Structure 1
């Protein structure tokens, strides 16, 4: 899927198998800041201070709640690590890439700074 397709798409309830390793690598090419690590896709976002970090976390929480696909978050003073995987498929799915693209779009807009 292209970046535009990921941004326009929405998460769906999924069952079955995770994406194959080759497909994960292909999709990571669309989202170059993301890495495949520990069974998920992860990215660290940097901020000016704690307030901006928390503002991003709150805005991201609203987006992923609408998608019904929630990440693991590691929140620090001036950064937040976001990790997506799909429990229902036991690995990485297209939903993870949809939400990752939306997280990147949020970060690019910087409405919280």
Structure 2
């Protein structure tokens, strides 16, 4: 089980990520695309990094918007795994 980050560590990590926000025990970002097809293509690009990390995001899809949320469920909050995957996801765009 991954170790939970402290509040100051979370803020430090968020400072290194553009567009990501914290909501309680998760971080999230909403990405907007030109249409539904582009949004789904983005979601499909998340599969390989998520599988490689063994860490899977929660996804909400609304036509051309995809909200990606990350938390380490088995640890009960935010860990370095969340921020590492968020960094990878940010590089896909």
TM-score normalised by L of structure 1: 0.78
Which ranges of structure 2 fall in alignment gaps of 5 or more residues?
Answer: none
Counterparts of residues 1-12 of structure 1 (less than 5 Å): none
Specify which structure has the higher proportion of strand.
2
**Does 2:43 align with 1:91?**
no
CA deviation string 1:51-85 (max 9, x = no partner)? 00000001112221111100100011111000000
Residue in 2 aligned with 1:11? none
Specify which structure has the higher proportion of helix.
1
Q: Secondary structure at the match of 1:65?
A: helix
Q: Runs of 4+ in structure 1 displaced over 6 angstroms?
A: none
**Does 2:46 align with 1:60?**
yes
Q: Secondary structure at the match of 1:87?
A: coil
Residue in 2 aligned with 1:18? 4
Looking at structure 1, the residues matched to 90 and 56 of structure 2 have their Cα atoms a distance apart, in angstroms, of 15
* RMSD, aligned CA: 1.0
| Count, aligned residues | 93
Of residues 53, 59, 66, the one that matches 1:73 is 59
Q: Secondary structure at the match of 2:46?
A: helix
TM-score normalised by L of structure 2: 0.94
Question: C-alpha displacement at 1:104, in angstroms?
Answer: 0.4
Which ranges of structure 1 fall in alignment gaps of 5 or more residues?
Answer: 1-13, 108-113
